[in-house]
Amino acid sequence: MPFPPGVPTVRVTYTAASPAGGQPAQGTVEFAPVAPAVILPDHGIVFSGRGVYRLDEQGRLVDTDGTVGVPLLPCDIPGANPAEWVWMVTITLTNAGPRRFCISLSTTQTEVDLHTVDQVAPSRAYYVAVPGPRGETGPPGPQGPPATDAETPAGALEKIAAHAAAADPHGDRAWASEQFSALSSRVAALEGTGTAAPPSVTGSRSDGTALANLITVLAAAGLITDDTTE
């Protein structure tokens, strides 16, 4: 009995052959909704149960009247109850164990080959299409607009040269020169302490003149700052 007028369907096809010899396979394909019933209130119909269909002499899935393919309800018919469900497919071929997987059919489809769908878990309410061969690379897209406020190597070099030629606008060069000059003096003083004739310290330890002279020598070498008082 065909579906009533107005009820959308998707024709599902399948062809199988024996891997030994390539002869058409024999067996059956069972389709069962995972929901106990699918209600279409807009059509006043309740669909329940499952269907088992055979493979013909050429190994093709055929309907009860011998037509290639089996019409099935889509899983996303507007207003259907439940709103989300999937088909459980069981393929049983001669000399092979049963194989089960789930598929989801859409009203946007007219025909689906079971070979083009991947086997998925029953809890996933959709099937994953097997990707086909990679196509040729397409033509390049249009050139995008130039970047705004982007610095170029030439522009960066120009800015560096202009900064170097400026008269120390930020005072950083004078500060650096002062710091390096003081450092050079201290390094020279330290190097002098390691010569054959190091600075001598004079005075008496008992009256403290030797300590005062040592402070003077260290300050002259730039090793300390003499902030002592009389």
Q: In angstroms, rounded to a whole number, what is the distance separating the alpha carbons of residues 204 and 209?
A: 5
Look at 56-65, 90-99, 209-218 and tell me which has the smallest mean pLDDT.
209-218
The pairing of strands 70-72 and 87-93 is: unpaired
Q: In angstroms, rounded to a whole number, what is the distance separating the alpha carbons of residues 228 and 230?
A: 7
Mean pLDDT along residues 61-86: 92
The more confidently predicted of residues 81 and 155 is 81
Q: Residue 62 pLDDT > 90, yes or no?
A: yes
pLDDT value at residue 138? 81
Confidence of residue 195 (pLDDT cuts 50, 70, 90): low
Confidence of residue 194 (pLDDT cuts 50, 70, 90): low
Q: Which residues of 41-64 are buried (b: 16+ CB within 10 A; e: fewer)?
A: eebeeeeeeeeebebeeebbbbee
pLDDT value at residue 7? 92
Domains and CATH numbers, the chain: 10-116 (2.60.40), 171-230 (no CATH)
Phi, psi of 18 (to 5 degrees): -75, 135
Q: Is the pTM of this model over 0.85?
A: no
Mean pLDDT along residues 146-153: 73
Confidence of residue 187 (pLDDT cuts 50, 70, 90): low
pLDDT value at residue 88? 92
Residue written as token pair 């309410």: 125
Confidence of residue 192 (pLDDT cuts 50, 70, 90): low
Mean pLDDT along residues 188-217: 72
Q: Residue 35 pLDDT > 60, yes or no?
A: yes
Confidence of residue 120 (pLDDT cuts 50, 70, 90): very low
